[in-house]
Amino acid sequence: MKLAFSTLGVPGTPIAEVVRLAAGHGYQGVELRTHPEEPVHLGLSSLERADVVEAFAAGGVEILALAGYVKVAAEGDDEPVLAELAALVRLARDLGAPYVRVFPGGGGQDPDGADATAARRLGAAAPAAADMGVSILLETHDSHRSGVDAARVVAAVGHPRIGAVWDVLHTWLAGEEPAASHAVLAPHLGYVQVKDVASADALTPLALGAGVLPLADCLDRLDPDAWVCWEYEKRWRPEAAELAGLLGAGRDHLLRLGAPKQ
C-alpha cells in the first residue's frame, strides 16, 4: 500500500512545507487540492509549475493527483466544463501527476440525463488526457456517491483513461457495503480516499480509527500496491484538530489495517 494525504487537510500551506510533512511522516504521495486559494491552481505560470515539480522531486514525494472541482454532470453547456477539464489535465501533465479528480455535480437532475452528460464530457476529454499520460477519475460524491453510481458512468465511457476515486465516506453514507463498492469500482479504480467521522450527522474529521467508518473492510480488498489517500477535510471544518499532529499515527493505522492477514 502506498500512502498519500490531501492538502485539503492543510489549506493554504506552502508547497515546501507540504513536501516536508509528507516526507517526514512516511507518506509517498500528496493529493493537491487545485483551487485559486491554494498554492497549486490553474493559473500557475510555466516557471511556477517547474518550481512545484522541483520541490516534490527534491523531497522524494510523488504528486498523486490534482483534486479539481470540475462537475462533469452539471447542467449547462459543455464548453466551459470541457475547457476547465482540459486546463486541469494540462496542469497535471506539467506537474507529472497521473490523475485528476473530478466531481459528478449532477444536482437534482434526472439520473439518466446526468449520467449521459457526464459520460459525454468525460468521453470527449479522454483522448487528449491519454495523449498527455493523465487519467481522469470521477469521485464517488454528491449526485453519484455510491460505487454503483460512479461505475455506471465510467463504464458508459469505456475508455482506459477514465476511472474512479473511491471516497469511502460517500459510499458509506449511500448505504453501500465496502464489498459492493469495491466490486463495481475495482476495474476502474485509480485510488481510494479514506477519512473518519463520528456519525452520519457529525462529519467533522477525526483521527483515523477514532470514528465509525469501516476502513478495515475497505482496505482489506485493495491490491497490495494500491494508493490510499487520507482526505482530512480541515478546509471545511476549521474546528477540527490540525492534521500535522495526526499524520504519523494515521500512517501507522493505515499500515496496520492494510497489512497482509495471516
CATH of the domain at 124: 3.20.20.150
26-40 pLDDT, tens digit each: 999 999 999 999 999
Q: Running DSSP on this structure, what letter comes out for residue 163?
A: E
Q: What is the pLDDT of residue 140?
A: 98
Note whether 123 and 99 are within 8 A (CB).
Answer: no
* Residue whose C-alpha cell is 497482509: 260
d(CA 24, CA 28): 10
Per-residue pLDDT, 260: 66
pLDDT, tens only, 175-213 = 999 999 999 999 999 999 999 999 999 999 999 999 999
Q: Which residue range is the domain that position 26 belongs to?
A: 2-258
Give the dihedral of Cα atoms 193, 105, 120, 130; nearest 10 deg: -30
Residue in 62, 8, 27, 13 with CA at minimum distance from that of residue 231? 8
pLDDT tens for residues 108-138?
999 999 999 999 999 999 999 999 999 999 9
Instruction: Give CA separation, 47 vs 34, 51, 62, 200, in Å.
Output: 17, 6, 19, 44
The predicted structure's pLDDT at residue 261:
62
Three state DSSP letters for 216-249 = HHHHCCCCCCCEEEECCCCCCCCCCCCHHHCHHH
The count of domains in the chain is 1
Degrees to nearest 5, angle at CA 2 with 154 and 224: 75
Q: 47-68 pLDDT, tens per residue?
A: 999 999 999 999 999 999 999 9
